[in-house]
Amino acid sequence: MTYSAVEIWAIIAMLGLGTYLIRFSFLGLIGNRPMPPIVLKLLRYTPVAVLPGMVAPLVLWPAATGGEPDLARGVAALAAFAVGLATRSTIWAMAGGAVALYTMLFALG
Amino acid sequence: MAGSTTKSAYWRGLRNGIPFIIVLAPFALLFGVVATEAGLTLAQTMGFNVLVIAGSAQFAAVALMQDNAPLFAVLTTALAVNLRMAMYSAALVPHFGAAPLWQRAIAAYMNVDQTYAMAIIEYDRRPQMGTAEKLAYFFGVSTPLIPTWYGLALVGVLIGESIPPAFALDFALPIAFISMIAPSLKTLAHLAAALTSVVVALLLTGLPWGTGLLIAAVCAMTAGVTVETLNERRA
């Protein structure tokens, strides 16, 4: 990370302000004008639309191995995904991913 | 009697919020560890937890900052992750709209995934609740959760520095993201959105940071809504 302390604090402050304004938006306006249904529908998909695209390159080309695909990390990612799908639980998914990662790292030496 | 029903609504909220400590604690801890690993100071990490107070957006911001992405890319991506909260805000208006502005302003700060979800379920179950009771319930749910979010992140920062590199903590971040996404892939539409996001983001990795991901996100949202609409028509 090569940001200056001022830049980092600027990111934190602007993210904080922006996030607060998003949360306050409708509560602050009271107007109680309903949003168009299409907008509500689109908003519902934002996390699932942003996060997978962000995580895919991190899994395929991990920074820790200099961008080379890594078997242990790939298996751990798959394990976390499979456990998350099967159990519908974030905590179990994280546990599954961690167990797979350490098992693989240990097995591959 | 208004006072006593408001009080009991607050305590009911607090009791309902307590189990969610178990869900939030590992996330908060992990954020402390990951942020420290990425090079943020203790104050900066806590700044994130207190001012932004949004798990997945915080992880997203730190992931981009590790890649030295331009500031605008960090901000747009992390805020895009939080856009869903505009929907929460809109959904709470019928319940809190009559409350004074300062109370709505405080509620907005605590308007996160867990508090929103719990509150909406409760209001649906007890439609006879008044505005004061509803707000009391909301603040009750928030009471155990907000300190957990701050406190466990602090623990994460403190222990994160003592964890050796052999533990491959670099990969805690991707695992955390995957663990957040996988359980939410409940419908074909969500699955379509996630898949579109991955494919388009990977195809556009050549573009400067942020742009490829934002295009992927727009395509993915469109894919999600399209599949949902097609499903509704068929039903």
Residue B1, pLDDT score: 45
Contacts of B78 in chain A (CB under 8 A): 15
Quick: pLDDT tens for B108-126: 999 998 898 888 888 888 8
Beta carbons of A46 and B71 less than 8 Å apart: no
More confident residue, B16 or A8: A8
Assess A75–B contact: CB distance below 8 Å, yes or no: no
Contacts of B41 in chain A (CB under 8 A): 5
Contact assessment for residue A16 and residue B57, using Cβ atoms and an 8 Å cutoff: no
Contact assessment for residue A27 and residue B107, using Cβ atoms and an 8 Å cutoff: yes
Cβ-Cβ pairs closer than 8 A, A with B, add up to: 281
Average pLDDT over chain B reads 89
Per-residue DSSP letter, A45: T
Q: Where are the domains of chain A?
A: 34-107
More confident residue, A65 or A30: A65
Closest Cα in chain A, distance from residue B216 (Å)? 7
More confident residue, A38 or B196: B196
Quick: pLDDT tens for A46-86: 878 888 998 898 899 887 787 889 999 999 999 999 999 99
Contacts within 8 Å (CB) and 24+ apart, B10-14: B10/B136, B10/B137, B10/B139, B10/B140, B11/B140, B12/B122, B12/B137, B12/B140, B13/B118, B13/B119, B13/B122, B13/B136, B13/B137, B13/B138, B13/B139, B13/B140, B13/B141, B13/B142, B13/B143, B14/B140, B14/B141, B14/B143, B14/B144
Beta carbons of B84 and A44 less than 8 Å apart: yes
Contact assessment for residue A69 and residue B171, using Cβ atoms and an 8 Å cutoff: no
Take residue A93 and report the two structure tokens written for it.
């998914």
d(CA A30, CA A27): 6
Whether the ipTM is more than 0.90: the answer is no
| Res. A33: pLDDT tops 70 | no
d(CA B28, CA B63): 16
| SS3 readout for chain B | CHHHHHHHHHHHHHHHHHHHHHHHHHHHHHHHHHHHHHCCCHHHHHHHHHHHCCHHHHHHHHHHHHCCCCHHHHHHHHHHHHCHHHHHHHHHHHHHCCCCHHHHHHHHHCCCHHHHHHHHHHHHHCCCCCHHHHHHHHHHHHHHHHHHHHHHHHHHHHHHCCCCHHHCHHHHHHHHHHHHHHHHCCCHHHHHHHHHHHHHHHHCCCCCCCHHHHHHHHHHHHHHHHHHHHHHHHC
Contact assessment for residue A100 and residue A76, using Cβ atoms and an 8 Å cutoff: yes
pTM over 0.90: no
What is the distance of C-alpha A47 from the center of its chain? 8
Contacts of A83 in chain B (CB under 8 A): 182
Contacts of B83 (CB under 8 A, 6+ apart): A22, A43, A46
Contacts of B168 (CB under 8 A, 6+ apart): A64, A72, A73, A101, A102, A105
Q: Where are the domains of chain B?
A: 2-167, 185-234
More confident residue, A9 or A28: A9
| Res. B3: pLDDT tops 80 | no
Q: Which residue of B has its CA nearest to A6?
A: B44
Per-residue DSSP letter, A70: -
